[in-house]
Structure 1
């Protein structure tokens, strides 16, 4: 009876980690919290980690039912989420590097106002918890279904720790994002963050394209 728990744990971890991709989120998180103090960045990392864990568990349990209730298909979710990711990435790609003036004011403003507003949008959704993670969580939710309640309970007991482990890895990468990129230097970090933003933009295009292909396939 332990076997379904282990299988569910491994399946959930293998399904969600590629979509969350914690190492790739680190430079994006750093660039989107530019001007924040280390304390504010740590607070944001905790909030994003908690938000993602709650969203993944909620989507796993009720996501498929909600989509069916409103008649929303996964291709539509991919298309809409991909567009949001493209919008956020474009803002990062085109952001000005000239932010040395008023750095103190920016840090204070980030600490008091902007940080909380950015903790969910866009840092949690759609940057971290995007269409891929939604689809992955729904897939995990479907895999929990079984005729025996004991099997469902075991699978759920394996899936939830896997989600918590994946989001903890995400939190660690965001928490130490600055240290991870310090060795690159100021100019190297700027280049790396621009490159990460461009990859994020390409990911948004790819997700949109997958949504479009899914919609086209429904008419074929």
Structure 2
């Protein structure tokens, strides 16, 4: 039981600070400022659902997929950092929206399309979270199909489910901020969040570049 509890805590405590749903809630609010409360609540459910399965895939199969395509984790960080920076720059340039409410059907369709990119990837589950999930998933038990290993996998899945619930709660209850801040406050929040998002993207990309440069300076010696 101690190992099962440790597996749950390893997944939850390892991923929660990196995913940081509480810190990402203002960014989610800024990117969904044109949505109605019902559409924003639906997006919160979809993002939590997408995040859960993306983290499951990264934990269980991520290392195998990257190895198959010959992709390293620093490259994932660089690409993800570019995506985050581009998303933040676009939000910083466009501001809080076009000033008109979109048609309901069009907004619903756009919300469904945006629930994965950019709201799930890279805003919620970014390169950092994927890297942590890959690291956690790389520690396979000696008997991967035994009963004990299955219990550890179940505990890890419960940890990922707890992360998804935290994402949903943080995003779902970011809605009252709109009422308290007002239009001017939301506009300030959009600009500030967009700038922070650009900084986060640059930081993620720089960490990937630093790892790549370190690999170039210390190449693996061939026999």
Q: Which TM-score applies when normalising by structure 1? A: 0.91
Deviations 1:60-86 (A, max 9, x none): 000001111111000000000110000
Q: 1:158 aligns with which of 147, 155, 160?
A: 155
Q: 2:175 aligns with which of 178, 187, 191?
A: 178
Contact 1:36 1:108 survives alignment (8 Å)? no
Paired position in structure 2 for 1:9: 8
Mapping for residues 70-109 of structure 1, pairs under 5 Å: 70-97=69-96, 99-100=98-99, 102-103=100-101, 106-108=102-104
Distance 2:177 2:95 in 1: 23
Distance 1:158 1:125 in 2: 24
Paired position in structure 2 for 1:136: 132
What's the offset of the Cα at 1:97? 4.4
What's the offset of the Cα at 1:121? 1.0
Mapping for residues 1-220 of structure 1, pairs under 5 Å: 2-97=1-96, 99-100=98-99, 102-103=100-101, 106-108=102-104, 110-143=106-139, 145-148=140-143, 149-219=146-216, 220=218
Name the Cα RMSD after superposition: 1.6
Count of aligned pairs:
215
Residue segments in structure 1 that go unaligned for 5+ positions in a row: none
Q: Structure 1 residues 197 and 156, CA, compared in 2 at 3 Å: closer, same or farther? A: same
Contact 2:92 2:191 survives alignment (8 Å)? yes
Deviations 1:153-179 (A, max 9, x none): 232121111111111111111111121
Residue segments in structure 2 that go unaligned for 5+ positions in a row: 219-223
What's the offset of the Cα at 1:208? 0.4
Distance 2:67 2:26 in 1: 36
175-184 or 154-163, which deviates more: 175-184
Which aligned runs of 4 or more in structure 1 are off by greater than 6 angstroms? none
Deviations 1:118-141 (A, max 9, x none): 111111111111101110111121
Distance 2:57 2:96 in 1: 38
Contact 2:34 2:97 survives alignment (8 Å)? no
Distance 2:8 2:96 in 1: 43
What's the offset of the Cα at 1:189? 2.6
Contact 1:182 1:189 survives alignment (8 Å)? no
Q: Structure 1 residues 218 and 98, CA, compared in 2 at 3 Å: closer, same or farther? A: closer
> SS at the partner of 2:208?
helix
Deviations 1:5-29 (A, max 9, x none): 1111111111111121111221111
Distance 1:196 1:134 in 2: 22
